[in-house]
Amino acid sequence: MADPAFFQVAGPFTVAEIALRIGATVAGTATPERMLRDVAPLQTATRDELAFIDNRKYLDAFRKCGAGAVLVHPALTNEAPENLCLLVTEKPYRAYAVAAQAFYPEPPPVPWISPDARIDANAEIGEDSRIEPFAVIGARAKIGRRSLIGAGSVVGAACTIGDDTRVGAQVTISHAIIGARVRLYPGVRIGQDGFGFSPDPDGFVKVPQLGRVIIGDDVEIGANTTIDRGAGPDTIIGAGTMIDNLVQIGHNVQIGRNCVLVSQVGISGSTRLGDFVMIGGQGGLIGHLEIGTGARIGAQSGVASDVAPGETVMGSPSVPIKLHHRQVAALKRLATRKGR
Amino acid sequence: MADPAFFQVAGPFTVAEIALRIGATVAGTATPERMLRDVAPLQTATRDELAFIDNRKYLDAFRKCGAGAVLVHPALTNEAPENLCLLVTEKPYRAYAVAAQAFYPEPPPVPWISPDARIDANAEIGEDSRIEPFAVIGARAKIGRRSLIGAGSVVGAACTIGDDTRVGAQVTISHAIIGARVRLYPGVRIGQDGFGFSPDPDGFVKVPQLGRVIIGDDVEIGANTTIDRGAGPDTIIGAGTMIDNLVQIGHNVQIGRNCVLVSQVGISGSTRLGDFVMIGGQGGLIGHLEIGTGARIGAQSGVASDVAPGETVMGSPSVPIKLHHRQVAALKRLATRKGR
Amino acid sequence: MADPAFFQVAGPFTVAEIALRIGATVAGTATPERMLRDVAPLQTATRDELAFIDNRKYLDAFRKCGAGAVLVHPALTNEAPENLCLLVTEKPYRAYAVAAQAFYPEPPPVPWISPDARIDANAEIGEDSRIEPFAVIGARAKIGRRSLIGAGSVVGAACTIGDDTRVGAQVTISHAIIGARVRLYPGVRIGQDGFGFSPDPDGFVKVPQLGRVIIGDDVEIGANTTIDRGAGPDTIIGAGTMIDNLVQIGHNVQIGRNCVLVSQVGISGSTRLGDFVMIGGQGGLIGHLEIGTGARIGAQSGVASDVAPGETVMGSPSVPIKLHHRQVAALKRLATRKGR
């Protein structure tokens, strides 16, 4: 179970209640009245805990599993041991997410404005929000309702932050308009100057960065990620997009809805992503590209040309994924063949 | 136009005034007396706004442009639509930078020492500087005139910071001597211990890091970038060098003047760069290398040997750029040829 | 010598005292009674300073060296100039580390609880610890003895931190149990939510992150590095492991003892490393891998499959090091051969 020093468990729930909540079918050794008190990993779950399997790598653990019930895809039910209660669903990981939210609902921030926060007289703080110690809120900034500004965070002049948004500790925000239900993890940097200067051989001339950062609803931005404001146009992060830790987003970048950017990705200035784009860890994109909706870019790829909607590319420089696999295989053959 | 909630525009200026300031020739449908009230992107600029074109990708927008005047290279003037006033210059991006600075001059910091800053009694703060809330300034530290120390930033004992330098929020500085007109963006880490230890199999022995970080005038350092202090020699960043976000600079690295390091670059310990070196995003250099003046290192390159002055390398491992292009082409041919 | 504004030197010590302390043999022009007042680089060391050589790149400097004594491997003693006192040891860098610690012993933190720190009434602070201004310590947190919590750092509820641990400025810690003699450099992020959600095309479902971060004794974690807490299992960093700046550690990752992770490495969720694993700068590992004890992963490698104990891999995608070198050579031949 989760360490009670850090997490407070709700419940218990019967197997049937969980099945109803996630839309799963009870199967295997069905015990719908069994009480489930927690979620747990497949390897350690006991009779009153709920587990899930979503990766064939863990089939061995599944076969020995002693959980009270396991969320499982229909294709894996025949691998289940006897006496295991199954909750069958096409999306076991999603079902686990919903069930875990039931056991561990996230409490809203406890409303509080710390006397140690410094809030400009012309800033507005919405009802039931929480402003932690040593936060600094600038003139004309607006914070929504039930939102959190973590310890030491700085919200610059005129920035707006929506309702139910959680800003972790030590985040800096300037020149930004941020939606509702957004999460910014600790150390996120939003709205600083983009990397804009005229690269003269005898000293650079700085280009004023005159745009903003616009962040849609339901976006998550990982720890120590940096998002520069636009140079003239805005830098835009579409609603529902998930950004991991240590990602770099250059000025004027536009990212669509529900994209996924894994950690340490870098996107250079003025590149635009459609919706549902996925970029693997450490992938890099040069500037001024168009990446189509649904495109997928493999980890460590180096993308220097547009990617069509739905296309998958990989490698540095990136090529279509099939060609990438052929290149990898061809190079291996070339390096190992006899008679070299 | 730039959002007036965040930016305050100066001016207006006539086309002739701008032409004079940037050294451009008025051409096309010349209207030197026209009033320009702002800068704007090529795509949206209206009759009282100034735009620029610096990338052939945007020729379509140029051909439809409705700006009051456009900064353009002589080679593109024949692509201009009728009725467009041109400001012809060999360096349109530089000209834009200067013009935008005229419309959006950066005000100096408003002098203030926050009562919520903690400044050691033996620190010196120059005239007209600004120390924001929750900043901490250590013993014997010296801050120059008209400089800014952002909210929550920590300046360690005995560090010196020059005149007109701007330290963003939540920067940490120790063991460092920093020049004038330097900009450190939020979350920059300067002067912490380098990664120095004796890699013994049975536990590492830490090597005391006894050097400093020396940063020249007019340097910019991007958000969340980390620069370790020297192990014995100093870590040195030459005047005028531009460093983007999330860059790593190891101990003893010496960087010359006017270099450009794009985001997520990593430079390992004791490597030395001449002047005017450019490194593309996510490029990595091992330690103890010599990179000559004017060398260029492509994005995502992995550099494991010295690079001669003026040379351009790319790839991982990096090779001269021409060889890199041949390698990419040869591998593609190998992977796609018939009869495999 | 180290800048006395930043560093305070102990000593002096005779050559014989140093030789005894590090277990070296005095050779060359042996002057065991000579007083050494400091350590210094090979290139600049004078008659009362101690230098070391650990890289054949610096043989020229060694041959001209004017130091009072030089730590040197037996294999290089015949390169020494006349009149140079040698301290011969199999591990000159380790010997330098020990000697430098003698000249520059690190003082313990000066005990102090700043009145500007905000410490929950139910937190426990060990004897002789130092809590700097604007630090925030949550309910039920426990800080050990002689430990340091730097300015602005945030220690979340119920976290524990061992004895003699140094937390730099502006570190955030939540859901974590941290050992003794650990060093966290500025801007480290520990314990925030992992990147866990069910990637549904119509909006993501967040997966509660119910694990912790467990950090063993004697670990170092570099500036702005991010370590997410586990999703259910814990994220674990084994004792003695050294992590450089800007590294990303995903949820559920388990790292063994005495590993070395160079800067900008990224390790995806649930991957496990044995002991003594080394990963070069910017290396990336996908999730759910097993990396055996003593494995070595080259800089910029992209690892997508398990690595056996003791194996060395390199490249993206990574292959055994010998195959990697062959691939690099074969590709170069292919690109440069005549008749293409």
* CB within 8 Å: A170 and C157: no
Mean pLDDT of chain C: 96
pLDDT at A85: 96
Quick one: DSSP state of residue A307? B
The answer, yes or no, to whether the previous bond of A109 is cis (omega within 30 of 0) is no
- Confidence (pLDDT) at A1: 74
- Give the distance from residue C234's alpha carbon to the nearest chain B alpha carbon, in angstroms: 24
Looking at residue B340, its pLDDT comes to: 46
pLDDT at C188 over 80: yes
pLDDT of residue C57: 87
Chain C residues 186-245 with a CB less than 8 Å from chain A = 187, 189, 192-193, 195-208, 210-212, 224, 226, 228, 232-233
Give the residue ranges of chain A where pLDDT is below 50: 339-340
Q: Whole-number mean pLDDT of chain B? A: 96
- pLDDT given at position A339: 46
- Domains A13-103 and A174-340 alike in fold: no
B293 touches A at CB < 8 Å: no
A36 phi and psi angles, rounded to 5 deg = -105, 130
Question: Which chain A residues in 22-81 lie under 8 Å from chain B, judged by CB atoms?
Answer: none
Closest CA to A230 of A214, A247, A215, A212: A212
What is the percent of chain C with per-residue pLDDT over 90, rounded to a whole number? 93
| Partner-chain residue, chosen from C203, C205, C329, that has the shortest CB–CB distance to A98 | C205
* Tens-place pLDDT, residues B259-279: 999 999 999 999 999 999 999
Q: What is the mean pLDDT of residues C221-235?
A: 97
Res. B339 pLDDT band, cuts 50 70 90: very low
pLDDT at res. B338: 55
For residue A324, indicate whether it is catalytic.
no
> In this prediction, what percent of chain B has a pLDDT beyond 70?
99
Give pTM, 2 decimals. Answer: 0.96
Tell me how far apart the alpha carbons of residues B262 and A269 are, in angstroms, rounded to a whole number.
11
Residues B45-91 have pLDDT tens digits of 999 999 999 888 899 999 999 999 999 999 999 999 999 999 999 99
The three state secondary structure string of chain C is CCCCCCCCCCCCEEHHHHHHHHCCEEEECCCCCCEECEECCCCCCCCCEEEECCCHHHHHHHHCCCCCEEEECHHHHHHCCCCCEEEECCCHHHHHHHHHHHHCCCCCCCCEECCCCEECCCCEECCCCEECCCCEECCCCEECCCCEECCCCEECCCCEECCCCEECCCCEECCEEECCCCEECCCCEECCCCCCEECCCCCCEECCCCCCEEECCCCEECCCCEECCCCCCCEEECCCCEECCCCEECCCCEECCCCEECCCCEECCCCEECCCCEECCCCEECCCCEECCCCEECCCCEECCCECCCCEEECCCCEEHHHHHHHHHHHHHHHHCCCC
Q: Is the ipTM of this complex over 0.85?
A: yes
- CB-based contact C152 B158, cutoff 8 Å: no
Q: Report pLDDT digits (tens) over C61-116.
A: 999 999 999 999 999 999 999 999 999 999 999 999 999 999 999 999 999 999 99
Question: How far apart are the CA of A181 and the nearest CA of chain B, in angstroms?
Answer: 23
Distance CA B259, CA C217 (A): 40
Give the per-residue pLDDT at A279.
98
Q: What is the pLDDT of residue C338?
A: 55
C-beta atoms of B263 and A264 within 8 A: no
Find out whether B38 and B11 touch, Cβ atoms under 8 Å: yes
Task: Please state which of the ranges A197-201, C67-71, C129-133, C189-193 shows the lowest mean pLDDT.
Answer: A197-201
- Asked if residue C339 has pLDDT above 60, the reply is no
pLDDT attached to residue B248: 98
The residue ranking higher by pLDDT, B42 or B337, is: B42
CATH no. of A13-103: 3.40.1390.10
Q: Which homologous superfamily is B174-340 in?
A: Hexapeptide repeat proteins (2.160.10.10)
pLDDT surpassing 80 at residue C340? no
Residue range B132-160: average pLDDT?
98
CA-based nearest residue to C125, from C159, C79, C100: C159
Q: Give the pLDDT score at A338.
A: 56
Measured in angstroms, the CA of C125 and the nearest CA of chain B are apart by 22
Residue A339 CA, distance from chain mean position = 50
How is chain B split into domains, by residue range?
13-103, 174-340
pLDDT of residue A57: 87
Q: Chain A within 8 Å of C134 (Cβ-Cβ)? A: yes
pLDDT of A340: 46
